Structure 1
Amino acid sequence: MVPVFVLAGCGAEDAVNLPDVPDVPDIEMPNLDVLNEDLLEGANGVRNFLAQEYQLSDVGNVDCPGDLALQFDCTVTVAGQEKTVTVTVLNENGEFEVSEPK
């Protein structure tokens, strides 16, 4: 869920422009048998996604947190340099997407 803050007692001149909040899917975390740290760090996890989606062939170590959420960061080694990717869980089946390494 996205927190929503309400400003009480504000007139039009006091209005605050809030950034657009993207629609957050209403999904539950997948079962640990479907998505877990070992699967994400394994051959068919983040490394495979980076190879297929971004054509990165020199992805080494992948380190994801033990406590997963619907969105989290993993550390990856790409061409010998440590980078960060954001993993977003798409559904209860454990499908996910990975951002381009930064």
Structure 2
Amino acid sequence: EKLEVKKALIARVEKFWKEGTIVTTNTSGVSIDGIVEGRNDSFRHSFFGTHFFNPPRYMKLLEIIPGKETSMELVQAFQSFAEMKLGKGVVIAKNTPNFIANRIGVYGMMS
């Protein structure tokens, strides 16, 4: 994953974005705040990261990663959707390098 590629795509998405629409990107470790740097306030409130594990059809875990300006109301609404409609087990991760599961995985591989 490349931060600059995601930033460029999100800048294009913002041009068509309508207020009230949730925007998310699937990432396994790119900074959520870095991706929306330079976007308008309302867009940043509506943006968060998701980390669906592969293959998503079979893997239950989903990390949701809010940025520092993300609306927690939207995160909670998406969490309910992911749990009830997608059947996912959701964890809310901090916007730290590699979030939760990948950090645990790397630690496990090093042991």
- Whether these two folds match at TM > 0.5 is no
TM-score, normalised by the number of residues in structure 1: 0.25
TM-score (norm 2): 0.24
Tell which structure's C-alpha radius of gyration is larger: 1
Higher helix share: 2
Answer 1 or 2: which has greater strand percent. Answer: 1
